[in-house]
Amino acid sequence: MAGHSKWKNIQGRKNAQDSKRAKVFQKLAKEIFVAAKGGADVATNASLRLVVDKAKAVNMPNDNIKRAIDKAAGNTSGEHYDEITYEGYGPGGIAVLVHTLTDNRNRTSTNVRVAFNKNGGSIGETGSVAYMFDRKGYIVIEREGLEVDEDTFMLEAIEAGADDVEISAEAFEVYTEASAFTDVKDALSEAGYAFATAELSMIPQVVNEVPNDKKEQFERMIDALEDDDDVQEVYTNADGF
């Protein structure tokens, strides 16, 4: 990933998603519910801790977080969500992974397929694009107001266990192995750093440009997917998205 700033590329999309905060909270509540089924204590349930940290990073109210955990702990209704990842190609042959949590597989499959097909994309078979991505820890520390030089931060991150650090004028972007993510995150937090983003993500091995004549169509497809209530995350290998 050297030389590629994921953070810079997602800022426009992040700002757009901020305007849909209620929907973001709704999706996070579902993710917290699923994680909390494995135990309601964030100290002993690593998966729950990760998603709670993710929720706090986007300022999800503590009451909302607690409500989702309590709902899972006291769930007697049989409410259940399946995790399904769809793979396919967007306009211009861009690889796309769509991670969903759903209580209705038929509904979700139809909606995802329509979002692809109506916008010049196509659903692929399982494994058709997943091999182009690596599951990595991804941490962003914004540099505004941060009094640390690049070499010092680089050394701290590597000593904490990071695989790679991308440096730009706006941020330090830290990549880790998935298994090392929590340890690196904790070490940097203990060193006093605040995170703009800290999550496990699917990082493309190589990024590709969306053809100019396909950019509008590609963005419509991503918007349609992200707007779906069952879609938790959309990952692509598109540069600039």
Q: pLDDT tens for residues 174-208? A: 999 999 999 999 999 999 999 988 999 999 999 99
* pTM, 2 dp: 0.86
The pLDDT score that the predictor gives to residue 111 is 98
Q: Is the pLDDT of residue 147 over 60?
A: yes
Q: At what angle do helices 21-36 and 6-18 cross, to 10 degrees?
A: 110
Q: Where along the chain do the CATH 3.30.70.980 domains lie?
A: 82-131+206-239, 133-204
Contacts 24+ apart (CB under 8 A), 17-21: 17/226, 20/227, 21/58
Q: Please, what CATH class does the domain formed by 133-204 belong to?
A: alpha beta
CA distance 152 to 164: 14
**Which band of pLDDT confidence, cut at 50, 70 and 90, is reported for residue 3?**
very low
pLDDT of residue 13: 54
| Selection from 183, 184, 195, 178 nearest residue 156 by Cα | 184
Give the pLDDT score at 236: 96
Please, where in the chain does CATH 1.10.10.200 lie? 6-74
> Is CATH 1.10.10.200 the classification given to domain 6-74?
yes
pLDDT reported for residue 2: 46
Element (H, E) at 167: strand 164-167
Question: pLDDT category, 8, cuts 50, 70, 90?
Answer: low
Query: Counting beta carbons within 10 angstroms of the beta carbon of residue 176, is it exposed (0 to 12), middle (13 to 18) or buried (19 or more)?
Result: buried
What is residue 240's predicted lDDT score, i.e. its pLDDT?
A: 74
Percent over 70 (pLDDT), the chain:
91
Mean pLDDT on 154-167: 95
Which pLDDT score, from 0 to 100, does residue 5 have?
Answer: 66
**How far is residue 66's CA from residue 56's CA, in Å, rounded to a whole number?**
12
Please give the share of the chain, as a percent, with pLDDT higher than 90: 78
Of 55, 54, 32, give the one whose Cα is nearest residue 45.
32
Q: Tens of pLDDT along 216-240?
A: 999 999 999 999 999 999 999 998 7
Superfamily, domain 82-131+206-239: YebC, transcriptional regulation domain (3.30.70.980)
pLDDT tens by residue, 47-100: 999 999 989 888 899 999 999 999 888 876 778 899 999 999 999 999 999 999
CA–CA distance, 173 with 141 (Å, rounded to integer): 7
- At residue 158 the predicted structure's pLDDT band, cuts being 50, 70 and 90, is very high
